[in-house]
Every structure is written in structure tokens, then in C-alpha cells.
Amino acid sequence: MTTPFGETIRRLREERGVTQKQMAEAIGVSAAYLSALEHGRRGTPSFNFLQRVAGYFNVIWDEAEELFSIASASDPRVTLDTAGLPAPYTALANRLARDFRELSPEIVEEIAAVLEKAEAKRYKGV
């Protein structure tokens, strides 16, 4: 398994023909750390690390911003704080935590679409 950030780093490396070892040496981390990021075994990387990756791949500002956004959505260990929210929110969070690994990819896509629709409504002020 991996994370969106892990997939992105691997894709960038492969597109440029760079090994994990070469990239790790160039940005000052171990190849083991880079491998762990690519395979979703490490949490969200630091801003400093992300800046080094963006510099290493010489990405333009918009691409760097997207890389930072992808990294922030890639922590494989998520905590949901429902303190102070109505009971149905806590029940839903717990049900998701309990059943999450059993959800089919199609159901995950449906849930993501519902959340995207809700986000779009928030931005429109609906």
C-alpha cells in the first residue's frame, strides 16, 4: 500500500529516471526513509523536506503547491476529533474507523464524491 504522496514521489522519480538512493543522497535523507514515504509507512513529511523535494525536481510554484497539498492529505495514521460535535458525527467517525478497511474502492470513490460536493457547496456559500 502507499499514499497519494508516495505515489507522486515514485512517479516523479521514475519520470526522471532517478533511483531512491540517488534522490535520497541528493536531498539529504536515507534511502530507507524515502522508501518508507513511498510505501506509506511514514507520516506527513516536514515542510523542509517538501521544499527539498520541490527543489530537487525543479518544479514550478503551482506544482510545488500541489505537492504540498498531496503531502498534507497523505498521513496514513489519521485521528478524528469529534469532541463537542453532535452524537451522529461521533457515531459516523467510529463506524468509518471500524469498517474502513472493508470498504470497496467504489464506495471510497462515492464517499469522496459526496465530500467534494459538500466542499464545493461551502465555497459557493450554499
| pTM (whole model) above 0.75 | no
- With the CA atoms of 94, 38, 45 and 29 taken in that order, what torsion angle do they form, in degrees rounded to the nearest 10? 150
Confidence bin at 126 (pLDDT 50/70/90):
low
Domains identified in the chain and CATH numbers: 4-72 (1.10.260.40), 87-124 (no CATH)
Q: Average pLDDT, whole number, for the chain?
A: 91
Q: What CA–CA distances, in Å, run from 93 to 36, 72, 98, 102? A: 27, 20, 9, 15
Contact 28, 65 (CB under 8 A): no
- pLDDT per residue as tens digits for the range 22-56: 999 999 999 999 999 999 888 888 999 999 999 99
Considering only CA atoms, which of 53, 59, 67 is closest in space to residue 23? Answer: 53
Averaged pLDDT, 93-107: 93
